[in-house]
């Protein structure tokens, strides 16, 4: 079945640093890919998505490109802020419409 693997955290960065959180997937067929973010005490919020190879999803300065050749969907941001501190989940579609999540990566940004 489909699966998603993302880098373990926590990731600790200083404000304005460059962020990369790696995500790779295994799938039969061509899943859609997502990044969700969970701020402390809140639910999962969709951050960005990509539905086919070479699509780039972007939102709030975050970007991720659907790379079929490397089965990856790495999350990047050029300059992180303290307010970006959260847990980030990579996910793919699988089966009828369920989401398959990675383990989550906690990001801590310090001033």
Partner 1 sequence: EPEVTQTPSHQVTQMGQEVILRCVPISNHLYFYWYRQILGQKVEFLVSFYNNEISEKSEIFDDQFSVERPDGSNFTLKIRSTKLEDSAMYFCASSAGHNSNQPQHFGDGTRLSIL
- At residue 84, the 3 state secondary structure works out as helix
Structure tokens at 35: 């990044």
43 binds partner 1 (CB under 8 A): yes
Residue choice 56, 68, 98, 110 for contact with partner 1 (CB under 8 A):
98
Instruction: Kindly tell me the burial class for residue 86, based on how many C-beta atoms sit within 10 Å of its own C-beta (0-12, 13-18, 19 or more).
Output: buried
Show contacts with partner 1 in window 61-90 (CB under 8 A): 89
Output the furthest CA–CA distance in the chain (Å, rounded).
43
Tell the smallest beta-carbon distance from residue 23 to partner 1 (Å).
13
Contact positions toward partner 1, by CB under 8 A? 32, 34, 36, 41-46, 49, 51, 89, 91, 93, 95-104
């Amino acid at each position: 079945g489909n699966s998603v693997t993302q880098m373990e955290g926590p990731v600790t960065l200083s404000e304005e640093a460059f962020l990369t959180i790696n995500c790779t997937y295994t799938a039969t067929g061509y899943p859609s890919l997502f990044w969700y973010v969970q701020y402390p005490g809140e639910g999962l919020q969709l951050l960005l998505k990509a539905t086919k190879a070479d699509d780039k999803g972007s939102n709030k300065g975050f970007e991720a490109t659907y790379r079929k050749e490397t089965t990856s969907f790495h999350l990047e941001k050029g300059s992180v802020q303290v307010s970006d501190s959260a847990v980030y989940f990579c996910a793919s579609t699988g089966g009828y419409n369920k989401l398959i999540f990675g383990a989550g990566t906690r990001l801590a940004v310090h001033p």
